[in-house]
Amino acid sequence: MSADRRAELAANLERVRARVDAACRAAGRAPEDVTLVAVTKFFPASDVAHLAGLGVRDVGENRDQEAGPKVAELDPQVRSALTVHFVGQLQTNKANHVTRYADVVQSVDRAKLARALDRGAGTALAEGARHTPLGVTVQVDLEEGADRGRGGALPEDVPALVEAIDGCEHLDLRGVMAVAPRGLDESGTRAAFDRLAALSERLRQDRPEAWWMSAGMSGDLETAVAAGATHLRVGTAILGSRVSHG
């Protein structure tokens, strides 16, 4: 069964990588400039190990209660080869725990969370539970109209949040992240990603090291690549549906 699952993941991964390569060619970009983050939520540590064996170096999780035990279950050699991204909404009371296993938190949407992560990372560093600052990206809300404010920092609030992160000793700002609003056609999704790209460009003017633009998932990765995404968060297209795998 394990061999069958590895073969399934390998085939899925090959198809996704082919999509990314094709999208990069269409956009005139180099495939090596785009990082694929395999989102492994709802799937076991054995799948993470399979993906690591297939060359995946970045994995994403979005639920602390699942992610912590899963990362702890990984063989130390497998864990050391991976960058673990926390990509889900995060409550401040979970921030301390997340800093014990995540290398990057992509979903920082408010100053209070940034400060909680900073305290957690500082404690983890002092205790030897981590050895580097915590990478973070600012999650930006791309919704418009009545749905604004439900999924990230509003664009006009991003500068203040960046300043708050700058004041955190143990956080390393990597860039911005967003999820495309639901219910949009391809042109609407592209317009949303273009808004994120404009924010990313303004951020990089002052902080060239904060160059990440994390956008795009299984259904819209090509649109994200065309808009300039540097990181793609792909789950279903690689892992399959949780219904079929428990």
CA–CA separation, 37 and 234 (whole Å): 6
State mean pLDDT over 53-66: 97
Is the pTM value of this prediction over 0.75?
yes
Residue 30's pLDDT is what? 98
Query: Looking at residue 140, what DSSP letter applies?
Result: B
88 φ, ψ (degrees, to nearest 5): -100, 170
State mean pLDDT over 138-151: 82
Tell me the CATH number for domain 2-240.
3.20.20.10
Residue 244's pLDDT is what? 47
Residue 186's pLDDT is what? 94
Q: How confident is the model at residue 146 (pLDDT cuts 50, 70, 90)?
A: low
- Complete DSSP assignment for 160-212: HHHHHHHT-TTEEEEEEE--PPTT--HHHHHHHHHHHHHHHHHHHHH-TT--E
Report, in angstroms and rounded to the nearest whole number, the Rg of the chain calculated over CA atoms. Answer: 17
Residue 218's pLDDT is what? 97
Q: Domain locations in the chain?
A: 2-240
pLDDT tens digits for 188-232?
999 999 999 999 999 999 999 999 999 999 999 999 999 999 999
pLDDT for 237 beyond 50 = yes
CA–CA separation, 235 and 46 (whole Å): 15
pLDDT for 243 beyond 70 = no
Mean pLDDT of the chain: 95
State mean pLDDT over 89-118: 98
Q: How confident is the model at residue 158 (pLDDT cuts 50, 70, 90)?
A: very high
